[in-house]
Amino acid sequence: MGTTTSPPSRSPQRETVDGRSARERLLASANELFYAEGVQTVGIDRIIEHAGVAKGSLYNLFGSKEGLVRAYLASRHDATAERILAAVERHRSPRKRLLAVFEAQGLLFAEPGFRGCAFVAASAEAPTGGLIEHAAGEYRTWMRALFTDLAAQAGASDPRKLARQLQVVYDGAGLAAGMDGDPSIAHPARAAAEALLDASLEKSGGGTPDRAIPR
């Protein structure tokens, strides 16, 4: 077993017994509880109890519950973007890169505890014009830009239109998987994305460009 535990001792006393700072534990608890039960439903007390952190520390670190919610949504955005980009980068063919987004989504559906898109849930009961709406807007803009890029590279005749359609399918699949508790919706969703891509290609010319891109 271990010799000396050799504490890393990064910046003064930022870590406790389990090696995670109060900030990290708060963010982890927010991720867990906010996602599982809702941003409005879960109160500060539940968060700090779950994180083993004092209430004063939360307000020192995040300023308010709203600040914690912002950090929670930002971490969700980053994690999702990272996962999707990793799936896309695993392929070379533009067609496969586009469809990889939906395959990554399907894997997500199958994970235990999946309840749908965090931004959808948080936005549903959020006041209009607040930071939740803003964070959701940024996330959706990022997703649409990604789809537009992939659609253009896959040779769509109207990449913006195809991107909007793909986002509709992506959103609808996530919503259905969450509300119906049905991860298998990923398959018809992926098939729908493929059909829409094909329809978009047919319009442009005649052939079926795929491995066209040499580099």
List interacting residues with its own copies (CB under 8 A): 37-41, 116, 119-127, 136-137, 140, 161, 164-165, 167-173, 175-176, 179-180, 185, 188-189, 191-192, 195-196, 198-199
CB within 8 Å of 108: residues ≥ 6 apart = 83, 114
CB within 8 Å of 91: residues ≥ 6 apart = 97, 100
Gyration radius of the chain's alpha carbons: 21
Q: Between 91 and 161, whose beta carbon lies closer to its own copies?
A: 161
Q: Among 91, 87, 90, 97, which Cα is nearest to 154's?
A: 97
Q: Between 172 and 205, whose beta carbon lies closer to its own copies?
A: 172
Q: Between 7 and 129, whose beta carbon lies closer to DNA?
A: 7
Residue 136 touches which of its own copies, DNA, none (CB < 5 to 8 A by kind)? its own copies
Q: Which of 28, 31, 57, 91 binds DNA (CB under 7 A)?
A: 57
Q: Which of 19, 36, 66, 182 binds DNA (CB under 7 A)?
A: 66
CB within 8 Å of 156: residues ≥ 6 apart = 162, 197, 200, 201, 204
CB within 8 Å of 86: residues ≥ 6 apart = 104
Q: Which residues bind DNA (CB under 7 A)?
A: 7, 9, 12-14, 16, 21-23, 43-46, 52-57, 59-61, 64-66
